[in-house]
Structure 1
Amino acid sequence: MDSLAGFVPFLLYFALGYALIFAFIFIYTLVTPHCEWTLMKQNNRTAAIAFAGAFLGFTLPVASAAINSVSLIDFAIWGVIAGVMQLVTFFAVKIYMPKITERINKDELSAGIFLAVASLATGILNAACMTY
């Protein structure tokens, strides 16, 4: 039974982690000018790659926050920070590549790969910085 002592905290952190992920996905798809869901349903590989990068780029620091947080509130705060950093990354890429939305809509892979890598790089750096 001792090995199950952490089960309730595990469930709480896991549920909050999933809630943060779902909230991020919802907000990210509202903020980006292109509709990832519609594009992916149309088999747009570029949208899928870019979205996967943002998804993973957010999930990595959320996992780091779960490991390093001292409470559920601490975890939630750092999860929100991770989401903000992903949104900042999208807008930074948009400054560097102003026609990113048009290029994603046209299924130009190089644009999606660049956005995905920028999102992953942000997530990795974000996760590493959360090891306070």
Structure 2
Amino acid sequence: MISISGLPAFLLYVVTAGGLIGLYLLVYTLATAHNELALIRRDVAAAAVALGFSLVGFALPLAVAIYNAQSILDCIVWGLVALVVQILIYWLVRLAVPDLSRRIEDGRMAAAVLLGAASFAGGLVNAASMTA
């Protein structure tokens, strides 16, 4: 027998996660010095790599936040923590590579891979820290 009694909670968390992901993409793209979506529309792979791995770096701790949440508010708070961590990672990489955005705009993959890897690693550590 199939039960859908958990469907309302599932929908609440999926919609909340979707909203947090949308907020993340908005904040992240405003925080960076380059326009990821315009670059991706121009087929600049470096922008897609950097943004894509950043999104994964955000989604990992968000998934852990959903899994461990005691309430929807708890999930939102930890999702916002994950958002702040990812923005901080961008700024830290930008300190190390001051012309990061120009390099990504020019399609230079090394800068994009570094930013993406840092975002992914930060998301992993962030997710693991949420389980402690």
Band the TM-score falls in, shorter-chain normalisation: over 0.9
In structure 1, C-alpha distance between the alignment counterparts of 2:130 and 2:7, rounded to whole Å: 24
The unaligned stretches of length 5 or more in structure 2 are: none
Aligned equivalent of 2:121:
121
Instruction: Give per-residue Cα distances to partners, 1:69-100, cap 9 Å, x unaligned.
Output: 10000000000000000000000000011110
In structure 2, C-alpha distance between the alignment counterparts of 1:3 and 1:17, rounded to whole Å: 23
Q: Which of structure 1's runs of 4+ aligned residues deviate more than 4 A?
A: none
The unaligned stretches of length 5 or more in structure 1 are: none
Aligned equivalent of 1:22:
22
1:53 lines up with 2:53 in the alignment: yes
The amino acid of 1:69's aligned partner reads: A
Aligned equivalent of 1:71:
71
| Alpha-carbon distance, 1:5 to partner | 1.4
Same amino acid, percent of matched pairs: 36
Question: Within 5 A, what are the aligned runs for 1:32-111?
Answer: 32-111=32-111
Instruction: Give per-residue Cα distances to partners, 1:1-22, cap 9 Å, x unaligned.
Output: 7721111011101110110000
Instruction: Give per-residue Cα distances to partners, 1:22-75, cap 9 Å, x unaligned.
Output: 000011111101000110011101001000011110011100000001000000
RMSD: 1.1
The amino acid of 1:12's aligned partner reads: L
- TM-score of the pair, normalised by structure 2: 0.97
